[in-house]
Amino acid sequence: MASPMTADVRKATTSSMVLSVLMITTGLMAIGVPMIAGVAITALIAWLLIFSGLLHLVFAWRGGRAGAVVWEILLGIVYGAIGFYLLANPVAGLASLTLALGVVYWMMRERDDRVPGIPKAPAN
C-alpha cells in the first residue's frame, strides 16, 4: 500500500527523468544539426520579441507622462518589427543575432579591462 507522499515522489521523479531524457535528446540533436538548432532558437527569440512588443503596446498607457507613453509605443513597434524580421528571414536573423552576441561579449570584455576591481578574464 503506497502512501500519498510516495505517489507524489514517484510522479515528480518520473517527470524529472522524462524531462532530462528530452533535454539530452534535444541537446544531441542540436550538436548534430547546429544550423537547424540555430534557426529554431532564432524563431523562439523572434516570437519572444513579438510578444514583448505587444506587451509594450498594451501597457503603454501605464507610462504616466506623455513621453513615457510614446517611448513604450516606439519600443513596442521596434520589438515587433525586429521579431517579424527574424521570422521572415531566419538565416539572416541567425547571423544578426550571432553578431549582436559577439558585440555584447566584446563590450563586456572591454568593460572588464577598464573597470578596476573586476577580475580579468583569462586570455586564451
Output the pLDDT for position 116.
65
**Does residue 124 sit within a domain?**
no
Output the pLDDT for position 120.
65
Alpha-carbon span 84 to 28, nearest angstrom: 29
3-class DSSP assignment, residue 26: helix
**Does residue 21 sit within a domain?**
yes
Range of the domain at 63: 34-114
Q: How many domains does the chain have?
A: 2
Q: Are 79 and 57 in contact (CB under 8 A)?
A: no
Mean pLDDT per 10-residue interval, the chain, length 124 residues: 75 90 94 93 94 92 82 91 93 91 83 65 64
- Same domain flag for 58 and 92: yes
Distances in Å between the alpha carbon of 13 and those of 3, 6, 18, 20, 48? 16, 11, 9, 10, 30
- Provide the phi-psi class of 64: left if phi over 0, else alpha when psi is between -120 and 50, else beta: left
3-class DSSP assignment, residue 110: helix
- Same domain flag for 16 and 53: no
Output the pLDDT for position 115.
63
Output the pLDDT for position 2.
64
- Same domain flag for 3 and 61: no
- Same domain flag for 85 and 28: no
- Same domain flag for 42 and 7: no
Output the pLDDT for position 23.
95
**Does residue 123 sit within a domain?**
no
